[in-house]
Amino acid sequence: MLVHIPNVLSQDEVRHLRQRLETAEWTDGRVTAGEQSAKAKLNLQIPQDSPECRELGDIILRALGRNPIFNSAALPLRVYPPLFNRYDTGMHFHAHVDNAIRPIPGAGFRIRTDVSSTLFLTPAEEYDGGELVIQDTYGNQTVKLPAGDMVLYPATSLHSVNQITRGSRWASFFWTQSMVRDDTKRALLHEFDNSIIETRKVIPDTHPAVLGLTATYNNLLRQWAEL
């Protein structure tokens, strides 16, 4: 399931993140890649233990907490602290699959990466290339979103970032361990939740149909969730 979430960050928040990133230290992005992915990766990142990474990551985590689409689609149990990358002209990331398990620095535990997320921080018109390409059962899905928008997709997906031919593309990326690890079940629950939302717009919450749909959704989540 690929989900586009608009306006995760406000334009004021995007500007703040950009200003802080302008003065941050950028290092070789291969430090967070696995052995195989490192051979395919050419970009820059903010060090994970830097003050900028922690501060800006907290802003994103707060935004995710108040975003109903993210919570419906990802059903988050744990979210990996957001990281930040940068692709300048000539940089790219060839096709790869994200690591299945990642330790959270300083937390003493690991998460399973069920859902991958890319939050765009550069206006699309400011760079050429840099599209996120996600391979799924319907073929290649090419994603290039406005600054402040985010895409979610299964971490099991083979994906890449096209080479930048003009400008620079900045983004935040992170992973979510979902309460429901199976992508097909997550997609069904997300569609079910959307149907409940649309139904509540036309009939009262006390209507038996709404109560029945809500009960069924929660009972499915109760059956499939792993906590």
Numbered residues of the known binding site for Fe cation: 96, 98, 159
Report the binding-site residues.
96, 98, 159, 169
Q: Binding site residues for 2-oxoglutarate, as ranges?
A: 169
Q: CA of 216: how far to CAs of 81, 179, 207, 219, 220, in Å?
A: 33, 17, 14, 5, 6
Of all helices (H) and strands (E), which one includes residue 31? none
Of 181, 172, 158, nearest to 227 by C-alpha is 181
Long-range contacts of 63-69 (CB under 8 A, 24+ apart): 63/8, 63/9, 63/13, 64/8, 67/5, 67/8, 69/3, 69/5
Angle between helices 11-22 and 51-65 (to 10 degrees): 170
